[in-house]
Amino acid sequence: DSRSLNLSNAVAVVLYEAWRQHGFAGAG
């Protein structure tokens, strides 16, 4: 189902951006 794929993709992007801004995931 492409809709759920898009949703999970959007969620992943948002989480990644939040992570990056807080300096997690080894960013920086």
What pTM was estimated for this model as a whole? Answer: 0.57
* pLDDT(28) > 70: no
pLDDT of residue 22: 82
Q: State both tokens at 18.
A: 């939040």
pLDDT tens for residues 5-17? 999 999 999 998 9
- The owner of tokens 């990644």 is 16
| Cβ-contact 25, 19 below 8 angstroms | yes
**Distance in Å from the first CA to the final CA of the chain:** 35
